[in-house]
A and B are shown apart, each in its own frame.
Chain A
């Protein structure tokens, strides 16, 4: 049995694994467990999701084809945003990604955003981060941040602060029921803000501001 496993591993190492729309390129070994169906890349690798224009570069990856991909010290990138997290779980069927531990988020508009947890709805193009949410540019903190990274829209859920050191102003929000809606101009990058969401945006984004993130720890 043990020999059979080693053989299978060897075979897998020789041929890069192919999901329907995913390509997986291991940095080293690729170990397939016949009993569980779990494939492990102990030296990590790069996963490309062409359907979602997503690439994941991690130091350790394990996956079950058609079910999930888990990664450690993962860096994710799409056309618009870059994510990093200590632990990541990607569910291709549900088109969602969960991030945990040292979550970092960067986009053209928001740089150096860190949080404890994250959740990405790849289909809607919406990322949600929460837990000690803090960004360097612009200088902000929030209980939760919801970003439609394709449309350039952000919700800051209170309590939040938004600072502009150059103007000498600090904006604070303290009503968790009323998130601050930010919209970045796609051309100039200038921000508009409001405590009132446009009805369409409210319908699309408010559920993410209120939705409880899965709280079972990632392996």
Chain B
């Protein structure tokens, strides 16, 4: 939009590109100061007529027309089917009429990239451009205005209608007057009305639209059924005066979770209430989640806090730890310093988490080596972290990450880190780990990898797990075959659990088909084996378009359907609606429960 309006200024200032100098006959007019030209010329005593590559030019540029007539008696200029290209902008008008005082474009269109602006009539007079019946379209908005004027770098429109919908008018922004400043790309709507399906939802005195910023319109209503009903609003904007449309800083969440449904042991019902504010410098979140859990005989009730205050280097949080089953809190002071080859983030914390106490230290990365010779590039980084505690031994962690690449067809990544002492809080905790990853090929792609990481139990103050992941992938075009094995071992190296995934996937023109074989072992014994088939068609891209994405799981151990799902996506002019059903009939993965889930969603197209 900003560019479209900027173009209007340019076009109406007659700053067209490409001159008329190469035409066979050229007429120079003094009032208005114009050049008319064409390969064909006719003068019948009253009118001068240019045809065959007819052209209209001022000191700075030119527009082509099918025919240009200059009535020398009346001093009036008329051009038919005017069009030209200016630095990538396409300009077209059905008719152009001009005299010594003004130029009038009729049914004019200006377009460039994804922006198009049309006006039934555009009059250029004394440095001001008057527009009638203006319409504009960008990738995010469509506009109409009864009339408008461009003066210097300000565009003022009256009787404004706009919508972010691709077609139709489910969402409408109306305004008696709108002011657009080319300098900052902001549109200010005065005495505006926000309408949804024709119903006025708000009448802000002043509304700002940031035309250059992406529009963040998440539909806030939630509705689904799983272990109970889930419904409410999530991220409902609370507009404040002077805020840009779709760029609201304050949002409200009020959700009922798992209400109703079958009463089973450990069933949890909750209400989530939160107010979020995201400012340019910091964020504030204040949330509470009253929860009750059925233990078979009674409801156990608690209130989970969710509070966050972040402003520059300060970060204060109060939250709920499911593992500890109690509230946790922290106050952190940290700042990132970029010192060229060294990125350093010193911190000081007061925490009430797995433990309660103070910690101070720093984390960061040293870029030790970085070089590119022809297609060969190499990079070595040394990440580190260290913390000291007033009541415990210090903790340090560090290692190296080496990347070697040849063009974009060969890549090798090696990582190794070790830790000394034990971390007391999750903030600074990083486990000893090793990783090898290798990728090769462009059309035919091969990737193999191995990763090992030691994980801490912060409450117990010890290493609790040794996680290992092996992976391989072979891809060609949109087809790929992959294998992945995840192992969880105890600190002594004994295997506790393993999960394996074999996957065949094909993607074409935005649609995907995947066949997977998932199986897992618990302590060496096979505890599930499942075949999964899923198809996701390309997202519909037109109004009325729809897509159906089915998925199916088969329990190979029991020989029956383990899961099924179906998701319907439907476009209307403005919104994309989704309705999905996902059911687990035979639980497979650890922690999975037999349940059915219906989810409803809507978002701006």
When the two chains form their complex, are residues A172 and B42 in contact, meaning their CB atoms are under 8 A apart?
no
CB contact between A194 and one of B27, B41, B70 (< 8 Å): that residue:
B41
Separation of A170 and B25 alpha carbons in the complex (Å): 10
When the two chains form their complex, are residues B26 and A171 in contact, meaning their CB atoms are under 8 A apart?
yes
Q: Which residue of B lies closest to A188 (CB)?
A: B45
**Is A124 in the interface zone, CB < 8 Å from B?**
no
When the two chains form their complex, are residues A191 and B45 in contact, meaning their CB atoms are under 8 A apart?
yes
Q: How far is the CB of A21 from chain B (nearest CB, A)?
A: 40
When the two chains form their complex, are residues B24 and A194 in contact, meaning their CB atoms are under 8 A apart?
no
CB contact between B40 and one of A158, A172, A195 (< 8 Å): that residue:
A195
Q: How far is the CB of B379 from chain A (nearest CB, A)?
A: 62
CB contact between B72 and one of A158, A167, A173 (< 8 Å): that residue:
A167
When the two chains form their complex, are residues B44 and A192 in contact, meaning their CB atoms are under 8 A apart?
yes
* Residue among A167, A195, A196 facing the most chain B CB atoms (10 A cut-off): A195
Interface size grouping (class) on chain B:
10 to 19
**Is B265 in the interface zone, CB < 8 Å from A?**
no
When the two chains form their complex, are residues B28 and A180 in contact, meaning their CB atoms are under 8 A apart?
no
When the two chains form their complex, are residues A195 and B25 in contact, meaning their CB atoms are under 8 A apart?
yes
Q: How far is the CB of B28 from chain A (nearest CB, A)?
A: 4
When the two chains form their complex, are residues B25 and A192 in contact, meaning their CB atoms are under 8 A apart?
no
With A168-B31, A191-B43, A196-B40 in contact, is A180–B25 under 8 Å at CB?
A: yes
When the two chains form their complex, are residues B24 and A193 in contact, meaning their CB atoms are under 8 A apart?
no
Separation of A185 and B40 alpha carbons in the complex (Å): 22
Residues of A within 8 A of B31 (CB): 168
Residues of B within 8 A of A173 (CB): 24-26
* Residue among B25, B40, B42 facing the most chain A CB atoms (10 A cut-off): B25
Residues of A within 8 A of B26 (CB): 171-174
**Is A212 in the interface zone, CB < 8 Å from B?**
no
With A167-B72, A169-B72 in contact, is A193–B28 under 8 Å at CB?
A: no
Residues of B within 8 A of A195 (CB): 24-25, 39-42
Q: How far is the CB of B508 from chain A (nearest CB, A)?
A: 56
**Is A93 in the interface zone, CB < 8 Å from B?**
no
The SS class assigned to the B binding surface is strand
A-B contact count (CB 8 A): 58
B9-39: CB near A (< 8 Å → 1, else 0) gives 0000000000000001111111100000001
Q: How far is the CB of A175 from chain B (nearest CB, A)?
A: 4
Q: Which residue of A lies closest to B43 (CB)?
A: A193
Residues of B within 8 A of A194 (CB): 41-43
When the two chains form their complex, are residues A190 and B45 in contact, meaning their CB atoms are under 8 A apart?
yes
Q: Which residues of chain A from 5 to 34 have a CB within 8 Å of any chain B CB?
A: none
Interface size grouping (class) on chain A:
20 to 34
Residues of A within 8 A of B41 (CB): 171, 180, 193-195
With A168-B29, A170-B28, A171-B25 in contact, is A192–B72 under 8 Å at CB?
A: no
Separation of A160 and B492 alpha carbons in the complex (Å): 100
Q: How far is the CB of A199 from chain B (nearest CB, A)?
A: 16
Separation of A125 and B501 alpha carbons in the complex (Å): 101
Residues of A within 8 A of B45 (CB): 185, 190-192
**Is A178 in the interface zone, CB < 8 Å from B?**
yes
Q: Which residue of A lies closest to B26 (CB)?
A: A172
Q: Which residue of A lies closest to B29 (CB)?
A: A169
Q: Which residue of A lies closest to B52 (CB)?
A: A195
CB contact between A169 and one of B24, B28, B39 (< 8 Å): that residue:
B28
CB contact between A168 and one of B30, B44, B48 (< 8 Å): that residue:
B30
With A191-B45, A192-B43, A195-B40 in contact, is A171–B24 under 8 Å at CB?
A: no
Residues of B within 8 A of A178 (CB): 24-25, 39
When the two chains form their complex, are residues A196 and B29 in contact, meaning their CB atoms are under 8 A apart?
no
Separation of A185 and B43 alpha carbons in the complex (Å): 13
Residues of B within 8 A of A192 (CB): 43-45
Q: How far is the CB of B53 from chain A (nearest CB, A)?
A: 12
Q: How far is the CB of A171 from chain B (nearest CB, A)?
A: 5
When the two chains form their complex, are residues A172 and B28 in contact, meaning their CB atoms are under 8 A apart?
yes
Residues of A within 8 A of B48 (CB): 169, 171
Separation of A170 and B41 alpha carbons in the complex (Å): 14
Q: Which residue of B lies closest to A166 (CB)?
A: B72
Q: Which residues of chain A from 139 to 174 have a CB within 8 Å of any chain B CB?
A: 158, 164, 167-174
Separation of A173 and B48 alpha carbons in the complex (Å): 14
Separation of A93 and B61 alpha carbons in the complex (Å): 56
B229-270: CB near A (< 8 Å → 1, else 0) gives 000000000000000000000000000000000000000000
Separation of A195 and B70 alpha carbons in the complex (Å): 16
Separation of A89 and B26 alpha carbons in the complex (Å): 38
Separation of A174 and B19 alpha carbons in the complex (Å): 15
When the two chains form their complex, are residues B42 and A196 in contact, meaning their CB atoms are under 8 A apart?
yes
Residues of B within 8 A of A158 (CB): 24
Separation of A171 and B30 alpha carbons in the complex (Å): 12
Residues of A within 8 A of B40 (CB): 195-196
Q: How far is the CB of A132 from chain B (nearest CB, A)?
A: 21
Q: Which residue of A lies closest to B28 (CB)?
A: A170
Residues of B within 8 A of A172 (CB): 25-28
Q: Which residue of B lies closest to A176 (CB)?
A: B24
Residues of A within 8 A of B39 (CB): 175, 178, 195
Q: How far is the CB of A191 from chain B (nearest CB, A)?
A: 7
Separation of A172 and B23 alpha carbons in the complex (Å): 10
Residues of A within 8 A of B28 (CB): 169-172
Q: How far is the CB of B182 from chain A (nearest CB, A)?
A: 34
B548-592: CB near A (< 8 Å → 1, else 0) gives 000000000000000000000000000000000000000000000
Separation of A193 and B70 alpha carbons in the complex (Å): 14
Residues of B within 8 A of A164 (CB): 72
Chain A contacts to B: CB under 8 angstroms: 158, 164, 167-175, 178, 180, 185, 190-196
Task: For the A-B complex with A170-B28, A193-B41, A195-B42 known, give 11 more contacts whose Cβ atoms are closer than 8 Å.
Answer: A169-B29, A171-B26, A172-B27, A175-B24, A178-B39, A190-B45, A191-B45, A192-B44, A194-B41, A195-B41, A196-B40
The 8 A-B residue pairs whose C-beta atoms are closest, nearest first, are A168-B30, A193-B43, A175-B24, A195-B41, A170-B28, A172-B26, A194-B42, A171-B27
Query: What are 30 A-B pairs at a CB distance below 8 A?
Result: A168-B29, A168-B30, A169-B28, A169-B29, A169-B30, A169-B70, A169-B72, A170-B27, A171-B27, A171-B28, A171-B48, A172-B25, A172-B26, A172-B27, A173-B26, A174-B26, A175-B39, A178-B24, A178-B25, A180-B41, A190-B45, A191-B45, A193-B43, A194-B41, A194-B43, A195-B25, A195-B41, A195-B42, A196-B40, A196-B42
